[in-house]
Amino acid sequence: MIRPHWHVLGAGAIGCLFASTLQRSGLPVTLLLRERHGEVPVQVDDGDRREPLCFPSSRPADAGHIDHLLVTTKAYDVCPAVTSVAHRLDQNSQVLLLTNGLGYSDELRRALPAMDYYLGSTTEGAYRLAPLHIYHAGRGYTRIGKPGCSSPPDWFESWSRAVQPGSWDADILGTLWLKLAINCAINPLTALHRCRNGELARPPLAAQVLALCAEIAPVCTAAGFPITSAVLHQQVREVIAATAANRSSMLQDVLAGRPTECNYITGYLLAAARQHGIDAPRNEELLTRMRKLEY
């Protein structure tokens, strides 16, 4: 079995969580950090367990080949972050993008056309308590795939031993589109109303969720990922119920004064809607309001 050395780019909650999971399974892991270098402590709190870990780190600008790169930045940072380590990658480097939304991989393809990458989607719940200190709030499922590729690469064996539960996903784009559709129905509303996800199950927001699903489903279908409004609405309601006490990632960004990923979620949906000649005025309005909130 190959024993890949993972470099993790994006040491937020998901980056620290996956770095610790991979390291715990015995794989070498290095954090790529702009401001630090040398050994860095990371703490993962997990209910009753508080685990102090230590990782070697290097700066993106350093030299040193990267064989396996896990990218867990915000969607808008994927392209600049990967470009900042492009001198450390070659055609054999395996790059895995584990990020919310869609559209960042198209940007990357334009910036680094020779690079080959995998995509992932996770429902793991983690949030940052302080820099390099995270809370693992809920266990989730992680899917990894590569568009047009039905079987996993060599490194997936050690990855799947470490990252459980999870699986290789031969339809990763379908999975990412479904996640995007669910995020379009939940995230902007929670960010604009500054409410937890569970608030969307009650009037008046529940009606807006229903109307959004009716707009989102035809866009997914036109883009080649068929879903009915009723099925999407059911899935959205299930996610709202399962994450009722959570603050969505978009609300967390707004509360922390960070840019949100709305351009890669609702913005991406609207670009697809335009491409297929579909009107989506409710989503347009949410994106406009989100942009006003941010600038």
Q: Catalytic residue positions?
A: 179
Displacement of CA 17 from its chain's centroid (Å): 13
For the segment 23-82, give every residue that binds ligand KPL (CB under 6 A). Answer: none
Find the shortest distance in angstroms from Cβ 11 to ligand KPL.
18
Closest CA to 118 of 89, 152, 78: 152
Is 121 one of the binding residues for ligand KPL (CB under 6 A)?
no
- Residue 215: other Cβ atoms inside 10 A: 20
Closest CA to 11 of 72, 55, 56: 72
Asked if 77 and 167 count as a contact pair (C-beta separation under 8 A), the reply is no
Find the shortest distance in angstroms from Cβ 30 to ligand KPL.
27
Q: Which residues contact residue 142 at a Cβ distance below 8 angstroms, ignoring those fewer than 6 apart?
A: 98, 120, 121, 122, 123, 124, 163, 165, 166
Q: Which one, 88 or 136, has the nearer CB to ligand KPL?
A: 136
Contact with ligand KPL (CB under 6 A): which of 42, 75, 186, 262? 186
Interacting span for ligand KPL (CB under 6 A) from 29-37, 111-119, 131-139, 246-254: 246-254
Is 191 one of the binding residues for ligand KPL (CB under 6 A)?
no
Find the shortest distance in angstroms from Cβ 82 to ligand KPL.
21
Contact with ligand KPL (CB under 6 A): which of 30, 94, 243, 263? 243
Find the shortest distance in angstroms from Cβ 150 to ligand KPL.
26
Is 260 one of the binding residues for ligand KPL (CB under 6 A)?
no
d(CA 208, CA 192): 13
Is 158 one of the binding residues for ligand KPL (CB under 6 A)?
no
Is 197 one of the binding residues for ligand KPL (CB under 6 A)?
yes
Asked if 176 and 145 count as a contact pair (C-beta separation under 8 A), the reply is no
- Residue 186: other Cβ atoms inside 10 A: 25
Q: By the criterion CB under 6 A, which residues form the site for ligand KPL?
A: 100, 182-183, 186-187, 197, 239, 243, 246, 248-249
